Structure 1
Amino acid sequence: MFTRQQVRDHLRTPKAVRSVLFKPASASRNMPKFLQLKGRRIHHTDILDAGGSYRALFLWRDGNIFEKRKFSAWLFLSEGDDLTPIARMDYHPSHKGFHMHVNCEDSRDLTNRALPGAKELAIGRTRKWDPKVDIDRINLVDQALKCLRISMLSLEGGLF
C-alpha cells in the first residue's frame, strides 16, 4: 500500500504519546476485531493518539513458558474510523529478537487488517527480555518508542 519512501517518512515523522498503560484484554474495551486482542494472556494499551493522524498500540502476551511470550508495538495511520497499519515492531524471546513488519511494496489494501505476509526487517538481537517482568517491559516499550520515533509526554515522568 505504501512505498518504501512513504513508510520511511512515516517512521521518521516525530510523534508523541502521553503514557503507555497496559490493561488486560476484554471484550468491553471495544478494540478493532482485526487486532485479535482477546484472551486472558493479552495485555494492551488503548489505541493511543500519537499526533496528527498517527495512532499507536502496545501489547504483550503472557505465556506459560518464557519462549511463548511476546511484545508488539503498532503504528497506524488513522482516517476516520479506519486504521491502516504502517509498521509493527515485534519481539519474541524465543527467536529473531526485534524485527519489524512494514506495509510497503504490497498491492493489497491492508486498511483495518493486520499485516499478513508483510515485508519483515530484522532490527537486531538483544539480550533476552521477559515481557512479563515490569522492568523488561519498560525496556521493550522504550525500544519500540525509539524505533517508531515516538516520544513520551507523560506528566508523571514514567512509562506506566
Structure 2
Amino acid sequence: MEKERARASVKAKAAKERGAPEGNRNAANGEENKGSVSTFDSSSQGKKPKRDAEYWIARLKRDAATDPKAGALLGSIEAGEISARQAAIDIGHVKPPDRGLLFENQRETRDDGADPTAARRFYLVRAQLGSAYCRLAEEPHARPSALDAALARALQTTRLSQIPVRALALVLVDFWWDNPRDRGKMDRKELLRHKREPKVLRGVKFKPLKKNTLPKPFDKMGGARMTHSGLIEVADDSKVLFLARAGETLERRAFFAYWLRHTTAGLLPLVILHYHPSHKGVHAQANCRSDRDYTERQLPGAPELALRTPAGIDPADQNGRFHLIHIFCERCGIQIAPNDDQLL
C-alpha cells in the first residue's frame, strides 16, 4: 500500500509540474472531484470530434481569415447552394468519394456508357445537384423520372467522364433546359426539326394484338378486334406504330398511327393520327404548344389538326390502312422505302 501511495504521489507531482488540471491530479490520486472541470472529458479521450455541419462551418470560419475561398464557401452554405460537407470537400479538408472515378486524374475505361460504375456515378452526380435539382423538380412539367432521364442522357451522350461532379451537375442543368424532349414536351421548332430528319418506313405487317404486348402507353390496348404493326424503327431514336380496330360495320372500326421518339424515360409521342368513322374523320394531334409531360402517355389536350378524309376509305381493308399510312407519313416527313412494293 505504501508503494502504491508513493507511486500515486509521484504521478500527482509530475502532473502538477506539467500544469495538468486539478481534476486530473485528483484522478491520479484515485479521487474524483466532480466540482472541477477537465479539459479532456473521459468520454472524448482518444476520439476525434464529431465532424458534423457545425464542425465544418466553424472550421471554414477559421480558415476565412486567410483563405478567400473559405469565405465564398460559407456564403454558398448560407444561401443553401451546397452542404457544409460539400464545402469541406471543395476546399480540400475532406477527400471526395471515389476520387479515381469522379475527377480528372483518371479516364473511364469505356466510352459506351455501359461501364459497371455508371449507376453509382449517376447517383453521386444527382446528389450534387442539391437545390438546383429541387428547383427543377418543382417545375409543373417535371417529374423525377424525367429528371433522372435527362441526367442519364447527359452522362451517356456528352461523355463527361473527366469533369468533376459539381461541374457535371451544372452541365446537367444546362442540358435539361436545352433538351425539352427530356421534359416530355417540345415546341413547334423542335417538332419541325424532327420532321425534317431523314426517316424511312418499310415492312408494315398487321397481326393480332394482345394486352401487355406493347410498352406504355399501349400496354392496356388489345383484344380480339385489335391488330397492330408492332413498333417499327424509322430512324435511330424514332419509331412508328399502327393499330386497327375491326368491327361489323364501318362505324365500329378505327385506325390509329403513332410517331414516337424513344427516350430514356420511355416512349414520347410526337404525332398521333386517328380515324373514327363513327364520329370524326381523319385528324392528327401534335406534341407542341403544351406544358404537359407526355412521356408514356397519349396526347390529351395537345393541338389538333383536321385532315381531309378520303372518300370510301375503310380501316378494315388493307388498301384503306395503307392509304392512311401514306397520309400519316406525309404529315410526319417519313419516306416510304423505295423497295417496299406493298406500301408503294
TM-score by length of 2: 0.43
1:31 to 198, 201, 214: 214
**Which has the higher mean CA deviation after the structures are superposed, 126-135 or 149-158?**
149-158
Alignment deviations for residues 13-62 of structure 1 (CA, whole Å, 9 cap, x no partner): 3311221111110247x311422321111111111111121111011111
Distance 2:234 2:292 in 1: 25
**Structure 1 residues 158 and 81 mapped into 2: Cα distance closer, same or farther (>3 Å)?**
farther
Q: How far 1:69 sits from its partner (Å)?
A: 1.1
Q: How far 1:7 sits from its partner (Å)?
A: 1.8
Runs of 4+ with >3 A deviation: none
> Does the CA contact (< 8 Å) of 2:322 and 2:343 recur in 1?
yes
Higher relative contact order (CA 8 A, sep 6+): 1
Q: Which runs of 5+ in 2 are unaligned?
A: 1-184
Q: What is the CA RMSD across the aligned residues, in angstroms?
A: 2.1
2:225 to 41, 48, 51: 41
1:55 to 239, 245, 250: 239
Identical counterparts, % of pairs: 33
Distance 1:59 1:115 in 2: 16
Q: How far 1:155 sits from its partner (Å)?
A: 4.7
1:136 aligns with 320
Distance 1:72 1:137 in 2: 10
1:22 aligns with 206
SS at match of 2:224: coil
Distance 2:192 2:340 in 1: 31
Distance 2:196 2:297 in 1: 23
Q: How far 1:128 sits from its partner (Å)?
A: 2.9
> Does the CA contact (< 8 Å) of 1:93 and 1:128 recur in 2?
no
2:260 aligns with 76
1:8 to 184, 192, 216: 192
Q: How far 1:6 sits from its partner (Å)?
A: 1.6
Number of residue pairs aligned between Structure 1 and Structure 2 = 159
Q: Which runs of 5+ in 1 are unaligned?
A: none
More strand, by proportion: 1
> Does the CA contact (< 8 Å) of 1:17 and 1:154 recur in 2?
no
SS at match of 2:223: coil
Q: How far 1:156 sits from its partner (Å)?
A: 5.2
Distance 2:325 2:249 in 1: 21
